[in-house]
Amino acid sequence: MVCVAKQKGAMRLASLDISAQSHRLREGQGVTEARAICPDLDIIPSDDAADLAFLNALADWADRYTPLIGIDAPFGKPQGLFLDITGCAHLFGGEAEMLKDIISRFDKMGIYAQGSIAPTPGLAWGLARQYEYYDHITENAIMNWDNLDARFRQFPMAALRLPLDMLLALDRVGLKKVKDIISAPRKPLMRRFGPLLLKRLDQALGREEEPVSPRLPVSDLSVERRLAEPIGRQEDIETCIEQLSNSLRVDLEKRGQAGQEFMLLLFRMDGIVRRIMIGLSAPSRDAKRIRALFSQKLAAIYDETDAGAGFETIRLCVIQAVDKSDVQESFVNGSNVQTNMHQLADQITARLGKDSVVKPVFHQSFIPERAASFAPIIEHKEHHEAILQNNHDERPIRLFSNPEPVTAIAEVPEGPPIRFKWRRSQYQVARAEGPERIGAEWWIDGESAQTRDYYRVEDKSGRRFWIFRQGLYERETHLSDGLLPKWFMHGLFA
């Protein structure tokens, strides 16, 4: 079986199974030529998007071994997985037992996988693909610095993750194996083949660092439980969550922190992984509170039929933690209203989503409608105090998000209004305070943006308004051109 895709104006082999490789077919070969060599070739169209989705699902499954998992796509084409197992192998009985467990689990899922463990990603990449370079399939291998030199020298050039055109160029001049270049002068190689050849060589040998870029953010703290018997009932899952939360609480207390966001990972027997996130309006390390929030979330989205054959591993991660000092609660009245409000907000958010409970936040802006907005209460980002806010400036209790136009008349051009019409109603001004002048943010609205003069006005019935005139006479508008300043209603006082 081969996958084909259009390359350089023709249909060519994009990937091959082991049987196709044993017939001397190769990647990049034309379909017509491949059929002539192997008439019973099974050809299917290549689908990189489906390959990537499949690899992401496998990466979720492999998260049980390490959270540092990257997608291997050296030429933009997804090919495999990189797992950084530093400090993880001893949890599985050592590197050999860990690799054996990974490959055997893939085999039980009906997936043929070839794997290896090496000191660098480059070496592991080449070692895991031995079957592509030799006539026989070798055992899954482990390479270390002690046995590196002799084995690495026998690797073919393809083991260095080089593009096909470079491999063909190297082959034409007789450079077929790593040993042909590992001790060769570097400058001639650089001039003829470019920097990528030596970069890949240095990465494989550890001379140039090549960290594995994780596909998902890595949590600072996590705890997991591997169950002797798989579970699927919601009550059992919640019990495990509380036990894991108690384990996390100890580490959070040592750090003087509390959790702001948590993620629950449920590893199913068939390899499918469920991820559930919760956020807290006030950071906490209380196990019962964390369990209650996940209970709300599970009640909204969980169906026990989704458990399949059951979950074999459960992991709880702290995605975001903040510093929190322990504060003695008051003994007066025996309740904390603020804490209760946070718990209520968290429960509503867990059941209805983070946009269901919002809070006002401030931003750095001179323009009032930009100086504040609403954000989900569980998002604790730093917001600057509004520039306009100070002890002397009154602001209306109700601020319109979009100022509404009014028709106003003033005794003098740059004075306060004496009467105005708003929403089809006439108002007679009894008293006014102002102006408070706010300059335009020309770096956002452009140099043609106009200045605002704000007035606090009260009509004869005692209703108070926040109204502004946009544009300065002579400087920003001209009577001769018929361009007069415009009036707007921006808010209402209590």
pLDDT at 52 over 60: yes
22 and 64 in a common domain: no
Q: What is the mean pLDDT of residues 90-96?
A: 90
DSSP string for 413-478: TTS-EEEEEETTEEEEEEEEEEEEEE---HHHH-TT---EEEEEEEETTS-EEEEEEES-BTTTB-
Residue 366 lies in a domain: no
What's the confidence (pLDDT) of residue 116? 92
89 and 198 in a common domain: yes
Nearest-angstrom CA–CA distance, 135 and 133: 7
Confidence of residue 392 (pLDDT cuts 50, 70, 90): very low
Confidence of residue 131 (pLDDT cuts 50, 70, 90): low
- Domain CATH for 249: 3.30.1490.100
Query: What are the φ and ψ backbone dihedral angles of 172, each rounded to 5 degrees?
Result: -65, -30
Nearest-angstrom CA–CA distance, 118 and 178: 17
Last residue of a domain, one of 330, 352, 384: 330
Residue 269 or 431, more confident: 431
262 and 183 in a common domain: no
Residue 350's nearest CA partner among 220, 261, 288 is 261
Contacts of 328 (CB under 8 A, 6+ apart): none
CA angle 43–57–103, rounded 5-degree value: 80
Strands 2-7 and 43-45: parallel
Q: What percent of the chain has pLDDT above 90?
A: 42
7 and 123 in a common domain: no
Confidence of residue 2 (pLDDT cuts 50, 70, 90): very high
Residue 452 lies in a domain: yes
Q: Worst-scoring range by mean pLDDT, 142-146, 182-186, 242-246, 484-488?
A: 142-146
What's the confidence (pLDDT) of residue 201? 93
56 and 39 in a common domain: no
Contacts of 150 (CB under 8 A, 6+ apart): none
Question: Does the pTM exceed 0.95?
Answer: no
422 and 313 in a common domain: no
What's the confidence (pLDDT) of residue 202? 93
Q: What would the pLDDT profile of 319-336 be if each residue is shown by its tens digit?
A: 988 887 655 555 555 555
Q: What is the mean pLDDT of residues 397-403?
A: 89
Residue 348 lies in a domain: no
57 and 39 in a common domain: no
pLDDT at 9 over 70: yes
Q: Which domain holds residue 11?
A: 2-45
56 and 185 in a common domain: yes
What's the confidence (pLDDT) of residue 339? 55
In the chain, how many H helices and how many E strands? 14, 19
Q: What would the pLDDT profile of 231-281 be if each residue is shown by its tens digit?
A: 989 999 999 999 999 999 999 999 999 998 899 999 988 888 888 988 887
Last residue of a domain, one of 148, 172, 205: 205
What's the confidence (pLDDT) of residue 102? 92
Neighbours of 418 (CB within 10 A): 15
Neighbours of 303 (CB within 10 A): 8
pLDDT at 166 over 70: yes
What's the confidence (pLDDT) of residue 385? 43
Residue 379 lies in a domain: no
- Domain CATH for 39: 3.40.1170.60
94 and 6 in a common domain: no
235 and 187 in a common domain: no
Nearest-angstrom CA–CA distance, 484 and 494: 31
Residue 323 or 304, more confident: 323
What's the confidence (pLDDT) of residue 352? 77
For 86-137, give the secondary structure using H, E and C: CCCHHHHCCHHHHHHHHHHHHHHCCCCCCCEECCCHHHHHHHHCHHHHCCCC
Residue 180 lies in a domain: yes
Q: Average per-residue pLDDT in the chain?
A: 85
Of these ranges, 196-200, 280-284, 382-386, the one predicted with the greatest mean pLDDT is 196-200
3-class DSSP state for residue 158? helix
Last residue of a domain, one of 157, 181, 205: 205
Q: What percent of the chain has pLDDT above 70?
A: 90
Residue 377's nearest CA partner among 406, 345, 402 is 345
128 and 55 in a common domain: yes
Nearest-angstrom CA–CA distance, 386 and 382: 12
Q: What is the mean pLDDT of residues 140-155?
A: 80
Domain total in the chain: 4
What's the confidence (pLDDT) of residue 324? 77
The beta strand positions in 269-363, using DSSP E, are 273-284, 311-323, 358-362
190 and 58 in a common domain: yes
Residue 349 lies in a domain: no
Residue 386 lies in a domain: no
Nearest-angstrom CA–CA distance, 355 and 207: 49
Residue 274 lies in a domain: yes
Nearest-angstrom CA–CA distance, 487 and 476: 14
Residue 100 or 164, more confident: 100
Q: What would the pLDDT profile of 349-384 be if each residue is shown by its tens digit?
A: 777 777 778 888 888 888 888 888 888 877 654 444
